Each structure stands twice: as C-alpha cells, then as structure tokens.
Structure 1
Amino acid sequence: MPDLSGKVAIVTGCASGIGAAAVRRFVADGAKVLGTDMDETRGAALCAETGALFAVQDVSDRAAWPQIVARAVEAFGRLDILINNAGMVSGAGIGDLDDDAMFAAWDRVLAVNLTGTMAGCRAAIAAMRDNPGGAKGAIINIASTTAIAPLPTDVGYSASKGAVRVLSKSVATWCAQHQLDIRCNTVIPGATMTGILEAAEQQTPGLIAAVAKTSPLNRLADPAETAAAIAFLASDECPFMTGAEMVVDGAALSIHPGF
C-alpha cells in the first residue's frame, strides 16, 4: 500500500465518485486532505466523515485557485499532491443543439474540465516550488477513455478529456526541463460508478447495464479501484514516472470492438 504519511493533498470533485474515493483512500494512507466541490452538502459531509477539510470550489473560476491552494498550505504547511478530478459532461453531439445551446454547453464543459485543470496545475506548481525542503510534488489529472475513444454523443466531454492528456504531458515536461521534482501524470478511467453515471441512469434507464458491457469484465469499476491507481501515482513509489498515463478501464480499450 502506498505510504502517503505526512503528505498534503487537494482533491477536487470530492463529493462523490472517484473524488470521494480518493479522499477516503488518501486519508487512510496517512495524508492530510483538502477536498473541494460545488456540492457543499455532500462534499462537507464526506470530508467530515473522513477527517478532511472542505472548501466550496468551482474549478473553472481560475481567480479562486490560488486561494484554494493557500488554504491547504495555511492549514497543513505545504502542498504535495493535487488531484484534478472535478468534471462534467455536455451531453451533446456536434449537431444535436442549436448554435447558442451548443456553444454554451461547449464553453462550460471546457471551462470546467480543461481550463479548471490547467488553472489547478498552475496554482499547485507555484505552491510546490515553495515547499519546505525544496520543490516537490505530484499532480494527477483525471481524464477518461473518451480521450482515446471519443463519444459521438458528447463532443465537449470527449474533446476536453483528450486535451487533458496532452496538458498533463506539457506540464510534466515543463517541470522536468526546469529541474523541478514535480511530476504530472494522467489516470484514464473506464466505466466507473460515478455521480455523473448515476444521474444519467435516471434519464436513461438501463444505461449502467449497457455501459458495463463495454468492458470485457462486464462490470463497472468501483471508484475505490481508480483511487488505488491515483494513490500509487501520488506516492513516492514511482519517482521516475511523469508524463505518463495509467489506464484503469477493465481492458475496454484493449479489445477489438467486434468482440
């Protein structure tokens, strides 16, 4: 089990799904955690349950990111880990909506999934450079298998998650070239029981069962399974691993679609 004792982490989108599982895992592994979410009720309850701190955050508000990072540093003295997990779907293919609705959906999903992730990376690096003992940290950005095999039914989500993959590599190489011991990696989850999927099931009954069949394992991932991969990347167990992608998809991307 990765040892996160004494490390300080920020986890966005902590109210449910992978974010909630990451908070639980990090606290269990010894980290001090600040969880953030727009859902104050569920986010605060999760953090109270686990002993983490909580802050309301809209990750697309780039001006607020330095304040979020400062809160973690003020509370715990440093920042070692950032998990950029918060995300949303647009629910629209390229020709599904009229222009006004399409571009509104596109702008919002990219603001959250991509600009929010970039702003988080930027604020975290600034704090990690000033850590006691020297620059050190780990950033894990959560993408999706749609970054590799995009959804025709959601152009904004697919495009934003594809961009997160490349963003992570750019961040990783910038830090490496500047001789900063700050790693940046991407986790690519497959079909996982998250709040987004639960909400979609209410609109489209049977969706969860259909999505489960996209994996040869014929099931969804438990968020805790993805959190385990995140914890490994956040730990000191893989110091040479940066700019990499860890796929946690139950082999969904490994099989020909006809089988």
Structure 2
Amino acid sequence: MTVKAQPAYNAPSMSPTGLFLLPIPPNQQSPAATLISYISRSFPAELLPTFYLDHRLFVDTSSLLPNADLSQRKFTSILTLSHTPLSTFVGTSLPKDKSEFAEQASPVTLITIPFTAADTFTQLIGTKLQPQWMHRQSLVVENGMALSLRDGEWIVRIGDLKTPSRANQPSTLRAMALEVTYNASGPAAQDLETGGASIVSTEDETLVRGFSDSLTEAAGISLGNSRVLFRNTQSNRSADTVDWDLANLYMDMLRGNRA
C-alpha cells in the first residue's frame, strides 16, 4: 500500500472556501433539493462530477475512561472526497498544548493512501489497533450535486450528510452539507507565500458568506443554525491533486460534528 505524506508547504493558487453544515432535526426533510432547484432555475450552471464523501471517525480509547481530560482527546479520520477521487486522506489529531485556546483546532498529522485501500485500512484500525482506537462515527454524502456558476467563478456543492445504512440499521439524515468556493483571480487568492496561507481573510470570508446567504435565503432556507468553517483550498485541481487544506477543512468540520 502506497502512502503519501504531507510535503513541506509550497504555495499553490488558492481559493477561499466555506463549508456549512446545517443540522436536520429528526423527521424533517433536507432542504438540499429545494436549494438545488433554486440554483438550477436562477443561474446558468454547469454540472460537475457528483459530490460525495465518506468519513470514518475513530477516537482514542484512553479518552473514554472516567475522569479523562477531553481536551486531550485524539481522533483518527479516514476521509474520501469526490474532489480528489484517487486518494483517501488519513488524519490523526495530536493532543493540544494546554496553553492553546479551547476553540483552536488540534494539529493534525495527515497522509494519503490509495482510495482502493480505504476499507482495508479501516479494518486494520478496527481490529489490530482496537485497544488504542474505537470507532466513533461514520458519515457519508451520496449522489450530491456539484455546480459551477458564473463561468467557474463560484463552485457550489450540496449534499445530504447521513449515517451509512447497515444490516438492520437504516441510514439516518444528520445535516445538509453546503460547500461554496470562490475562484477569485486577484492576488488575495493566488500565490500566497506564508505559512498561514490556508487562513481565509476577513474580506474573503465575508464574500463567501454573503454569496452563500444570497443563495439560501432566496430559496427560503436559513443558515442561522449551521456550523461553518473557512479555509483556502486549491483551485483548478485535477483528479490526482492532493489538497491538504481541503482535507483539513472537512476533517475539522466532521470531527466537530461528533466531538
């Protein structure tokens, strides 16, 4: 099994991306179809490859003991995304320095494996490493929609986040996932040269949030109760591009959905 480790930082062309997770209460329908219908009617949209994700979360068993310090809880995520279909990301969070603020994300060690090895790797953690790691949650988006708007200026991905169906256990709808990327052409989104290049500027965050709100509010959907994270991600990626910032964005969001 080939494993690719995260390389030293090498600044590519970046695009500010917002990831929104809107919780869906039990016995309520997802607004995803309504939002997709509105966008399709209101914009000349180009259909992109189907949006999907598969996220498997493990937690270290020591943090489940009585009186354990939850701030030091570690997670391992196994993440497959339609954006980078040839690779599966494996990320393990490191314990926080106790001097860090509680709201700061834990640092993550991130590698990739071939997507064909995801099931084998999951089985390895769930069996051979079971004394150290316990399966916490699996979430999937299946058959989501990805659209390019305004000649690629905006990329929107929409899908229902669910628990996967298993024997005698039906799938459960958890949230609507909305990813919005602004493919800006100005210097603010390209050729960033600092180690903080993944951090979205206040101006770009406001821009992405404003566009997202304009779409959802016009469709009669409120994002007021949603969780949202922002990250600069690679623009114009190919199928074999490894976008570490994109993986971190999704892992941070999906870990937080359970942590």
Q: Same fold (TM over 0.5)?
A: no
Give 1 or 2: higher helix fraction.
1
TM-score (norm: length of structure 2): 0.29
Structure-1-length-normalised TM-score: 0.29
Largest Rg, 1 or 2: 2
